[in-house]
Chains A and B, each alone.
Chain A
Amino acid sequence: MKSLYWDDLEEGDELPAFSREITRTTIVATAIASRDFQPVHHDHEAAQREGAKDIFLNILSTGGFVGRYLTDWSGPEGELRKITIKLGATVFPGDTLTAGGKVVKKYEEEGEHRVDVEYHFSVAMGPHAWGSATMALPVKGK
Chain B
Amino acid sequence: MDMSGVLEELQAMVGQESELQLCKDDVNKAMIRHWCEAMEDGNPLYTDEAYAKQSKYGGIIAPPQMVQAYSTPPLWPKKEGEPDPFAKAVKRMADAGCFGIVATTTTQEYFVPMRPGDQLRFKVKLAAVSPEKTTRIGTGHFVTAEYTYVNQKDEVVCVQSFTVLTFKPGAAGRA
Contact = CB atoms under 8 A, between A and B. Distances in A.
B173 interface: yes
A139 to B, nearest CB: 13
A60 B41 contact: no
B153 interface: no
A29 B65 contact: no
B116 to A, nearest CB: 16
Given A37-B75, A67-B63, A82-B109, A59 B39 contact: no
B65 A47 contact: no
B107 A20 contact: no
A84 interface: yes
Nearest to A65: B39
Given A34-B69, A40-B175, A76-B51, A64 B41 contact: yes
A82 B41 CA distance: 18
A17 interface: no
Contacts of B68: 34, 60, 63
A: contact size bracket: 35 or more
Contacts of A65: 39
Nearest to A49: B175
Contact of B65 (A50, A56, A80): A80
A52 interface: yes
A34 B35 contact: yes
A34 B66 CA distance: 7
Interface in A24-50: 26, 29-30, 32-37, 40, 47, 50
B103 interface: yes
Contact of B43 (A34, A40, A71): A71
Interface string A56-92: 1001110111111001100011011111111100100
Contacts of B75: 37
B21 interface: no
Which residue among B34, B35, B44, B55 has the maximum number of chain A CB atoms within 10 Å of its CB?
Answer: B35
Given A33-B34, A84-B105, A84-B106, A67 B175 contact: no
Interface of B: 31, 34-35, 37-45, 51, 55-56, 63-66, 68-70, 72, 74-75, 102-110, 173-175
- Which 9 residue pairs of A and B lie closest in terms of their CB atoms, listed nearest first? A52-B175, A33-B38, A67-B65, A29-B38, A68-B41, A64-B39, A35-B72, A63-B65, A84-B107
15 contacts: A30-B38, A33-B31, A33-B35, A33-B38, A34-B35, A51-B173, A51-B175, A52-B174, A59-B106, A60-B66, A71-B41, A72-B42, A84-B106, A85-B105, A86-B104
